[in-house]
Amino acid sequence: MSRTKIAGLAVVTAAALALTACGRGSTTSSSDPVGSALSSGPAKGTITMWAQGAEGAALPSLVKEFEAANPGVKVNITAIPWDAAHNKYQTAISGGTTPDVAQMGTTWMADFSTAFDPTPKQVDTSGFFEGAKAATMINGASLGVPWYVDTNVIYYRTDLAAKAGYTSPPTNWADLKAMAKAMQEKAGAKWGMALTPGGADSFQLTLPFIWSNGASLMNADGTKWTFDTPEMAGALKYYQSFFTEGISDKNLSTAAGAKESAFVSGATPMLVNGPFEIGQLNQAGGADFDKKYGVMRFPKQKSSTSFVGGSALVVFKKSKNRDAAWKLIQWLSKADVQAKWQKMVGDLPAVQAAWNDPALAGDEKLSVFKEQLQDVKSPPANTSWTQVGAAADTMLEQIVKAGTDPAAALKDLQAKADSIGTGG
């Protein structure tokens, strides 16, 4: 997985789509909603763990502390590329060769839910961000815990905003668009804001606007898709207007570094992304560029809701050392360990108490992410979301590039989603 994690959680959705389309998987959880009790005392034996990307590379040095605190345990970590991970987990589950513990992308929880061990009651989940914890709940059962979280906010050039007459970030949709226009008219920007015009996983990036307008992807009990609604149409009409009014580029470049380059040059002084973007912008902009931009949570319409992604930690039912595996997860969920992990790899802690660490609490930009994490949602945890999301990607491109009326496009998407079903 690239460091573009929220979008990156769906890097391998093509593989997931193929599997889901063939009927693979179910959202049916364990008949026992609470896992068996853990033993008292330290962890013992060998724990096998699979982890992806930067996490897989950095974990061995971190877990040495766990091994030191539990002298009878050894943790063997296998690093897996994100683009190979989904198929590798699928093969391991089918063949009964799963590890004890795994890093699981939140959008994959439903795909593999029948293979996960329910969370034991000794594993305290009360301190996690609620939006992140919801992604680990399948049919009412907790099947793991959040490990790290990602959410999108809006990055904006404070220096150019000041030239345009804005000394504080906008707090509602009308002001967001007005500031974007003003930076074009008064601060020399070619485009006011970078918004995705279509392509793989593009609909996912519109969800903050959709949720903030009061729309939902499904009804409350998860039995029906709810695309054909005034709230959804209104959100996409607002999104479309950025393109029809020349504020956003219909042909936005997806080349590596393109968004960062346009942001640094001032050609496009606003973009949407996760916390990893801070490092990318600072590198692209050079010394002191961090003083030229800020971040803001999504301006409020009916709410100020963003997307929550990240990864969970799960134990497989076929674990050969279940007890020690859950104790490792307990340790990785400690606030001080999560704060240390953030310093190592930049992942935002899923445990709220970890944000009391001075390095996090004193960071002006990261504090905005913490605020945004108080109001986040994730896509439905069912195996049909991959197919439905792909159909929504196509719809979004039609709305942006062909000028299709959102209300009409959503009627068509509703019909397609109904035919796909809800994966239950």
If one counts the domains in the chain, the total is 2
CATH number, domain containing residue 61 = 3.40.190.10
HEC string for 336-396:
HHHHHHHHHHCCEECEHHHHHCHHHHCCHHHHHHHHHCCCEECCCCCCCHHHHHHHHHHHH
On whether both 299 and 253 belong to a single domain, the answer is yes
Do residues 19 and 216 make contact, with C-beta atoms less than 8 angstroms apart?
Answer: no
Q: Residue 248 has which token pair?
A: 């956003």
Number of C-beta neighbours around residue 175 at 10 A:
16
Q: What is the pLDDT of residue 29?
A: 38
On whether both 290 and 361 belong to a single domain, the answer is no
**Above 60 in pLDDT, residue 145?**
yes
Find the range with the poorest average confidence among 25-34, 57-66, 89-98.
25-34
CA distances from 43 to 38, 52, 66, 329 (A): 10, 24, 9, 11
pLDDT level of residue 139 (50, 70, 90 thresholds) = confident
On whether both 117 and 194 belong to a single domain, the answer is no
Query: What does the pLDDT look like over 404-422, one tens digit per residue?
Result: 999 999 999 999 999 999 9
pLDDT level of residue 424 (50, 70, 90 thresholds) = low
Which residues of 208-305 form beta strands (DSSP E)?
A: 270-273, 293-296
On whether both 354 and 250 belong to a single domain, the answer is no
Q: Which of 377, 393, 409 is the last residue of a domain?
A: 377
**Full residue range of the structural domain in which residue 397 is found:** 153-306+382-420
On whether both 403 and 372 belong to a single domain, the answer is no
On whether both 215 and 331 belong to a single domain, the answer is no
Phi, psi of 62 (to 5 degrees): -70, -45
Average pLDDT (274-300) is 96
Q: What is the pLDDT of residue 397?
A: 98
Triad 191, 295, 126: Cα angle to 5°? 135
Average pLDDT (236-251) is 98
* Among candidate residues 67, 111, 407, the one with its CA nearest the CA of residue 235: 407
Let me know how many helices (H) and strands (E) the chain has, helices first. Answer: 17, 12
Query: Which DSSP category does 103 fall into?
Result: E
Do residues 338 and 349 make contact, with C-beta atoms less than 8 angstroms apart?
Answer: yes
Q: What is the pLDDT of residue 390?
A: 95
Query: What does the pLDDT look like over 160-170, one tens digit per residue?
Result: 999 999 999 99
Query: What does the pLDDT look like over 342-387, one tens digit per residue?
Result: 999 989 999 999 999 999 999 999 999 999 999 999 988 888 998 9
Find the range with the poorest average confidence among 292-301, 381-390, 399-408.
381-390
On whether both 34 and 175 belong to a single domain, the answer is no
- pTM, 2 dp: 0.88
Q: What is the pLDDT of residue 10?
A: 38
On whether both 370 and 390 belong to a single domain, the answer is no
On whether both 370 and 388 belong to a single domain, the answer is no
On whether both 9 and 101 belong to a single domain, the answer is yes
Q: Which amino acid is at 348?
A: L
On whether both 283 and 347 belong to a single domain, the answer is no
Residue positions counted in the chain = 424
On whether both 209 and 352 belong to a single domain, the answer is no
